[in-house]
Amino acid sequence: MEEQQGHTGSARNYVAIWLALLTLTGITITVAGMRLGAFSMFASLMIASIKASLVLWFFMHLKYEKKLFKLMFLIPVATLFVIIGFTFFDIGFR
Amino acid sequence: MSELTHSEHRDYTGSKLGMWLFLFTEILLFGGLFLLYAVYRAVHSQEFHRAAAGLSTTLGAINTLILLTSSLTMALSISALRQGKRNASIAYQAITIIFGLAFLVNKFFEWSGHIHEGLYPNSPHLLSRSNGEVLFYGLYYVMTGLHGIHVFIGVVAIAIMASLTVRGSVSDENFNKLENTGLYWHLVDIIWIYLFPLFYLIT
């Protein structure tokens, strides 16, 4: 039962992450409102990925997990990169 | 070695590993839909921009706020339980459920609005618009609908956890189920984090 005692972050820490998530939401809405064209899509995906990483790392405790969990998470991410990337090789050169 | 002294065998890491593997299948399920979205948006970018103008950024932002806050209360419920604060944990779980339901109510009004305007799959009004707009609304209904089903399942799961916490079978010594439910809830939040800019913030 020792592993159950692992640290998973304090309440204050969680509130800080929540405030960061709200701030990033505000930023993404503002950036989208600026009509930056192609950059707009890139910016909103980057901000969404930062938010998703914060949720994964702190709320889902990935930060405090064993290395196995961290490495394992790369599998779906890599799979998506390959699937979406290769599809766009096809779409982009038609 | 502590397992030898316990009558009940619990594999904490194994259970969490199983939950993560399930979450990977969820990521790939939504990943396929994101791929469809990406390709159709690349092909019909102008139509997607026009169609997205019909969605309310305010409603989307409110739902984002609701889900992000519900993720906070979910995380707090687990840390409260682990510190032995059972009542605080139950309260946080109840708040999370309320946020989940608020999200669904919001979604209901949003969809009602679209359907009232004649924008629903295969509607005559929608079919009179361009292919790209038909695809946009098709993806919108499928992706936010599938996400909504996940929110509903999450609410049910948290409600079950809350009742187990009240009964004491989920406790500071056995919080595994609650933690796995939390992982599911956070993943549902992450999916919304991507859905929000992709559908509501194309201007």
Q: What is the pLDDT along chain A (94 residues), one digit of tens a residue?
A: 334 445 677 889 999 999 999 999 999 999 998 878 778 889 999 999 999 999 999 999 999 999 999 999 999 999 999 999 999 998 888 7
Please tell me if residue A63 touches chain B, with a CB cutoff of 8 Å. Answer: no
B19, B13 in Cβ contact below 8 A? no
Which pLDDT belongs to residue B7?
60
Which pLDDT belongs to residue A6?
59
Matching residue, tokens 């316990």: B6
Which pLDDT belongs to residue A2?
39
Which pLDDT belongs to residue A5?
46
State the Cα–Cα distance between residues B161 and A45, nearest whole angstrom. Answer: 33
Selected for mutation to probe chain B from A4, A19, A28 (highest B CB count within 10 Å) is A4
User: Is residue B10 very low, low, confident or very high in pLDDT (cuts 50, 70, 90)?
Assistant: confident
Q: What is the CA radius of gyration of chain B?
A: 20
Helix B12-43 to helix B131-167 angle (10° resolution) is 160
Which pLDDT belongs to residue A40?
87
Q: Output the pTM of the full model.
A: 0.92
Q: Mean pLDDT of all residues in chain B?
A: 93
| A-chain residues near B15 (CB < 8 A) | none
Which pLDDT belongs to residue A38?
78
Which pLDDT belongs to residue A1?
38
B24, B30 in Cβ contact below 8 A? no
Residue of A nearest to B201 (CA): A32
Q: Minimal CA–CA distance to B198: which of B1, B35, B10, B19?
A: B35
State the Cα–Cα distance between residues B51 and B48, nearest whole angstrom. Answer: 5
State the Cα–Cα distance between residues B44 and A3, nearest whole angstrom. Answer: 51
Average pLDDT on B86-90 reads 97
The answer to whether B72 contacts A15, with C-beta atoms less than 8 Å apart, is yes
Q: Minimal CA–CA distance to B66: which of B110, B108, B100, B112?
A: B100
B138, B97 in Cβ contact below 8 A? no
Selected for mutation to probe chain A from B89, B183, B193, B200 (highest A CB count within 10 Å) is B193
Asked if residue B104 has pLDDT above 90, the reply is yes
- Encode pLDDT of B33-84 as tens digits: 999 999 999 999 999 999 998 899 999 999 999 999 999 999 999 999 999 9
Rounded to a whole number of angstroms, the distance from the CA of A45 to the nearest CA of chain B is 7
Which pLDDT belongs to residue B134?
95
